[in-house]
Chain A
Amino acid sequence: MKALFRLLSRTKLYWGLLLICLIGALISPHTSSGHNIFLSYGNLTDVLRQVSITGLVATGMTMVILLGGIDLSVGSVMGFSTVICAMLLTKPGWTSASVLGVPAAILVGGTAVALAARFVFSGLARGRDVSAGRRREISLPRWQSIGLPGLLGLLAAVAIGWWTINQVPGKFGVLGVLVIAPCLAMLLGGINGLLIVAGRLQPFIATLAMMVSALGIARLTAGSDNAVVPVYTGTNATEAFELLRSMLWGVLPVPSVFFLAAICLFGAILRFTTFGRYAYAIGGNVEAAKLSGIKVAQVQLTAYLLSGLLAGIAGVLFVAQYRQGKPDAGTGLELDAIAAVVIGGTSLMGGRGGLAGTFVGVLIFGLLSDILQLQNIDSNVQLVMKGLIIVCTVLVQEQNLGQLAARWRHRKSGEAQADPRTVETHRPPSAAKAELAREDLDEAS
């Protein structure tokens, strides 16, 4: 019985998802031929497509939050990426000075980022190691960290992408767009990371500043008298660009392929790699991680870079889907992403949670939206209901069903037993946290 409760409690998020699907199917309208609309393949793939953009951003956000940070800049960074992408598509050659100026400035900034990163890794991080005696440091395996070579590689990638767009027409030009926009977004993420690890700014402050300035950069790039950069069919490389919103082999919408791939890839990275282990360790207790010699700065920087990268990819998919680049395309997106991460059970304090949860969180949000839309419920009511679902899910997430059941049993039998939750607080907090982290590692798979 206890084991059953424990199992139910651990998997309650998935049961919640199932429950939402069940409700959706039961109350779904039917087509005239008696076909359940909610359960139709088209509807479900539509939901997957609609959540992909938020989902990609939430994937990056999960990693940042796991490390005990937050990234408020993702919406603006995505907007920036949509503008870069739309301009690359609609302005063949795209060499006018004002327009080239901003990416150029970012390239210079990126080099500065790279140099500063080297400074951080070689000097600051080591100098602040407080462990007594011999200095011991544990870096990430080389392929898991994006250090100086990685950043230089990024710049090279942007240059190659640029060359591709201008030299190779058609599908390969699109590849250039797919490289450039996310890489530039990644550089913005890198600046976030550097402000945090080298500048010692609070993640909230650093990414807030980036949220404001990236919007400005995006608008400057678009030109101040362009609120929107439209991408009409028939312009440079758009035909190949259509592939990005089509169905892959007629089965899955391409945007959702990106989302699913990101979840699987980064889920595996969090589960199986040193980067993942360190991420949980740092999120659980930064000081302990530092004392045990983990290069915290390196891991943090990597997480913010990845968050920027994923927001950049989301931007390209936005342009493919809605045929426009918009500086403010991602306004409010950071909040949706954070909501999905929190619904998915990742703690805002860091150290607990994982991408499996985020995936379910994003789906719950998307399915709920779809159900409300199919029921044709007033837009304002939809907002209220979404707020309610966030609160309810998190409430259920925070309560341990097994403990609730135990308390209920005890009350029934009249036994005067201590609340299991109070018992827990008597243990050393680090032990409790370590156990939670272990559990979450198991869950994250």
Chain B
Amino acid sequence: MTIYLPAGWTPARAAGKSKVGFSQCTTLEPWRVQFNKDIQAEAKNHPDIDLIITDGQDKTEKQVADCDNLIVQQVNVLLISPKESAGLTGVVEKAIDAKIPVIVLDRNVDTKRITQFIGGDNVAIGKAAGEHAVKLLGGPGKAAGNVVEIWGGMGTQPAHDRHDGFHAFTDKEPGIKYLLNNQSGDWKQDKAYDIMTTALRNNEKIDMVYGHNDPMAYGAYLAAKDAGRDKDIKFIIGIDGLPDEGVTWVSKGQLTATFLYATPGAEGLRQAAKLLKGEKLQPVITLPTMLITKENAPDILKKNGLL
């Protein structure tokens, strides 16, 4: 169990240790929790680094205050995963002005004055999901079936990227029909469950569900299961690939596949360590995705100590 002490409470650091501050935007979502776990696990490999994590509690103004606080503490490197771009740009520039290098994780800010950006590519992941979907539905040119797509937050960039990437492949297939029109599950399992319940009532034939994240795909699976139709809907695809969520569900055969949206936690800290040793960093690192199916899911679970 992690306790997020107010940063002022950390004990005086040992001589020669560097301070790395990480401003996380929220810890209310499982993906963010995994993100923090990853960065903490990596921190264990760097005994010369003191890692300070702050929790922005899903509020821009709280996260700005967190960053201000880290700047005042004169951290050697600032890692930040912004809640939103515009609101956090100012404080990132302030850190740069204070000669603190800034590594931006997952979502970017509206300024070129950053040291490095590390993040996944949602469009690429959406494309991978779309390519896989076409394959499952009969292959290019022959793919056919009714697809239910459950959106994440309608106003969020990742949802639009995951949508656009998916459709880049599936729109070429005349046999694929979409049953829902922009239905948002708000990234939540319970909302997706209710949407899917109605979709099942409304449509006698559903072949595939594409959820913008795993919890929503799982919620759709539960709805299908409760309606006794989980066997008819063969392909349920999610995105995120957290070990204790998506990967577990895939290994149990409840989801057909999921695509890893890796957290930039571990990589972020490795890059910070490089920077502290005086190495130069490349401006952008894009994290690769990975297809997780029933074949490779057990290995991932083993690696994470869940099997």
Beyond A32-B204, A245-B226, A374-B198, is A224–B2 a contact (Cβ under 8 Å)? yes
Q: Once the chains are docked, how many angstroms separate the CA of A232 from the CA of B112? A: 45
Beyond A224-B3, A227-B28, is A321–B193 a contact (Cβ under 8 Å)? yes
Asked whether, in the complex, the Cβ of A46 is within 8 Å of the Cβ of B189, the reply is no
In the bound complex, residues from chain A placing their C-beta under 8 Å from that of B33 are 225-227
**B187 → A minimal CB distance (Å):** 11
In the bound complex, residues from chain B placing their C-beta under 8 Å from that of A50 are 194, 197
Q: Once the chains are docked, how many angstroms separate the CA of A223 from the CA of B3? A: 9
Asked whether, in the complex, the Cβ of B190 is within 8 Å of the Cβ of A379, the reply is no
* Interface presence of A398 (CB below 8 A): no
In the bound complex, residues from chain A placing their C-beta under 8 Å from that of B245 are 230
**A232 → B minimal CB distance (Å):** 8
- Interface-located stretch among A35-43, A142-150, A340-348: A35-43
Q: 4 closest Cβ contacts across the A-B interface?
A: A379-B184, A322-B190, A373-B198, A378-B182
Q: Mark A358-370, 1 if CB is under 8 A from B, else 0.
A: 0000000000001
In the bound complex, residues from chain B placing their C-beta under 8 Å from that of A245 are 226
Selected contact of B193 from candidates A227, A322, A370, A373, CB within 8 Å: A322
Asked whether, in the complex, the Cβ of A98 is within 8 Å of the Cβ of B1, the reply is yes
Q: Once the chains are docked, how many angstroms separate the CA of A362 from the CA of B28? A: 29
Asked whether, in the complex, the Cβ of B1 is within 8 Å of the Cβ of A225, the reply is yes
**A365 → B minimal CB distance (Å):** 13
Residue of A29, A43, A322, A327 most packed against chain B (CB within 10 A): A322
* Interface presence of B151 (CB below 8 A): yes
Q: Once the chains are docked, how many angstroms separate the CA of A322 from the CA of B197? A: 12
Q: Mark A247-276, 1 if CB is under 8 A from B, else 0.
A: 000000000000000000000000000000
Beyond A98-B1, A227-B27, is A379–B189 a contact (Cβ under 8 Å)? no
* Interface presence of A377 (CB below 8 A): yes
Asked whether, in the complex, the Cβ of A376 is within 8 Å of the Cβ of B181, the reply is yes
Q: A43-B201, A321-B190, A324-B190 are in contact. List 18 more A-B contacts (CB 8 A).
A: A32-B204, A37-B201, A37-B202, A46-B197, A50-B194, A98-B1, A224-B3, A227-B28, A227-B32, A227-B33, A318-B190, A321-B193, A322-B189, A329-B190, A373-B183, A378-B182, A379-B154, A379-B183
Q: Once the chains are docked, how many angstroms separate the CA of A32 from the CA of B30? A: 41
Q: Once the chains are docked, how many angstroms separate the CA of A225 from the CA of B34? A: 8
Asked whether, in the complex, the Cβ of B244 is within 8 Å of the Cβ of A230, the reply is yes
In the bound complex, residues from chain B placing their C-beta under 8 Å from that of A225 are 1-2, 27, 33, 36-37
* Interface presence of B301 (CB below 8 A): no
In the bound complex, residues from chain B placing their C-beta under 8 Å from that of A95 are none
Q: Mark B194-222, 1 if CB is under 8 A from A, else 0.
A: 11011001101000000000010001001
In the bound complex, residues from chain B placing their C-beta under 8 Å from that of A322 are 189-190, 193, 219, 222
Q: Once the chains are docked, how many angstroms separate the CA of A189 from the CA of B149? A: 40
* Interface presence of B176 (CB below 8 A): no
Q: Once the chains are docked, how many angstroms separate the CA of A29 from the CA of B27? A: 41
**A315 → B minimal CB distance (Å):** 12
Q: Once the chains are docked, how many angstroms separate the CA of A374 from the CA of B184? A: 14
Could you list which residues of chain B lie within 8 angstroms of chain A, going by C-beta atoms?
1-4, 27-30, 32-33, 36-37, 151, 154, 179-184, 189-190, 193-195, 197-198, 201-202, 204, 215, 219, 222, 226, 244-245, 248
Q: Once the chains are docked, how many angstroms separate the CA of A377 from the CA of B154? A: 13
Asked whether, in the complex, the Cβ of A370 is within 8 Å of the Cβ of B198, the reply is yes
* Interface presence of A31 (CB below 8 A): yes
Asked whether, in the complex, the Cβ of B204 is within 8 Å of the Cβ of A31, the reply is yes
* Interface presence of A328 (CB below 8 A): yes
Interface of B, helix, strand, loop or mixed by DSSP = helix
Q: Once the chains are docked, how many angstroms separate the CA of A37 from the CA of B201? A: 7
| 29 pairs, A vs B, C-beta closer than 8 Å | A32-B204, A37-B201, A40-B201, A43-B201, A46-B198, A224-B1, A225-B27, A225-B37, A227-B27, A227-B29, A227-B30, A227-B32, A230-B244, A245-B226, A322-B190, A322-B222, A323-B189, A323-B222, A324-B189, A328-B28, A329-B190, A373-B195, A376-B180, A376-B202, A377-B181, A378-B181, A378-B183, A379-B182, A380-B182
In the bound complex, residues from chain B placing their C-beta under 8 Å from that of A323 are 189, 222
Q: Once the chains are docked, how many angstroms separate the CA of A358 from the CA of B28? A: 32
* Interface presence of A228 (CB below 8 A): yes
Selected contact of B4 from candidates A29, A224, A227, A374, CB within 8 Å: A224
Could you list which residues of chain A lie within 8 angstroms of chain B, going by C-beta atoms?
29, 31-32, 37, 40, 42-43, 46, 50, 98, 223-228, 230, 232, 245, 318, 321-324, 327-329, 370, 373-374, 376-380
Beyond A376-B181, A379-B182, is A46–B201 a contact (Cβ under 8 Å)? yes
In the bound complex, residues from chain B placing their C-beta under 8 Å from that of A327 are 28
In the bound complex, residues from chain A placing their C-beta under 8 Å from that of B204 are 31-32
Residue of A42, A98, A226, A379 most packed against chain B (CB within 10 A): A379
**B204 → A minimal CB distance (Å):** 6
In the bound complex, residues from chain A placing their C-beta under 8 Å from that of B226 are 245
Residue of B151, B197, B244 most packed against chain A (CB within 10 A): B197
Q: Which residue of B lies closest to A28 (CB)?
A: B202
Residue of B36, B151, B222, B244 most packed against chain A (CB within 10 A): B222
In the bound complex, residues from chain A placing their C-beta under 8 Å from that of B198 are 46, 370, 373-374
Residue of A40, A228, A377 most packed against chain B (CB within 10 A): A228
In the bound complex, residues from chain B placing their C-beta under 8 Å from that of A46 are 197-198, 201
In the bound complex, residues from chain B placing their C-beta under 8 Å from that of A328 are 28
Residue of A37, A230, A318, A327 most packed against chain B (CB within 10 A): A230
**B209 → A minimal CB distance (Å):** 15
**B251 → A minimal CB distance (Å):** 12
Q: Once the chains are docked, how many angstroms separate the CA of A232 from the CA of B33? A: 19
Residue of A32, A50, A224, A329 most packed against chain B (CB within 10 A): A224
Asked whether, in the complex, the Cβ of B202 is within 8 Å of the Cβ of A228, the reply is no
Beyond A37-B201, A223-B1, A322-B190, is A228–B222 a contact (Cβ under 8 Å)? no
Q: Which residue of B lies closest to A43 (CB)?
A: B201
Q: Once the chains are docked, how many angstroms separate the CA of A324 from the CA of B248? A: 15
Selected contact of B201 from candidates A42, A223, A228, A329, CB within 8 Å: A42
Residue of A98, A376, A380 most packed against chain B (CB within 10 A): A376
Q: Which residue of A lies closest to B249 (CB)?
A: A232
Q: Once the chains are docked, how many angstroms separate the CA of A196 from the CA of B66? A: 34
**A388 → B minimal CB distance (Å):** 19
Q: Once the chains are docked, how many angstroms separate the CA of A90 from the CA of B248? A: 16
**A378 → B minimal CB distance (Å):** 5
Q: Which residue of A lies closest to B153 (CB)?
A: A379
Q: Which residue of B lies closest to A378 (CB)?
A: B182
Q: Which residue of B lies closest to A232 (CB)?
A: B248
Q: Which residue of A lies closest to B184 (CB)?
A: A379
Q: Once the chains are docked, how many angstroms separate the CA of A226 from the CA of B36? A: 11
In the bound complex, residues from chain B placing their C-beta under 8 Å from that of A37 are 201-202
In the bound complex, residues from chain A placing their C-beta under 8 Å from that of B2 are 224-225
In the bound complex, residues from chain B placing their C-beta under 8 Å from that of A230 are 244-245
In the bound complex, residues from chain A placing their C-beta under 8 Å from that of B182 are 378-380
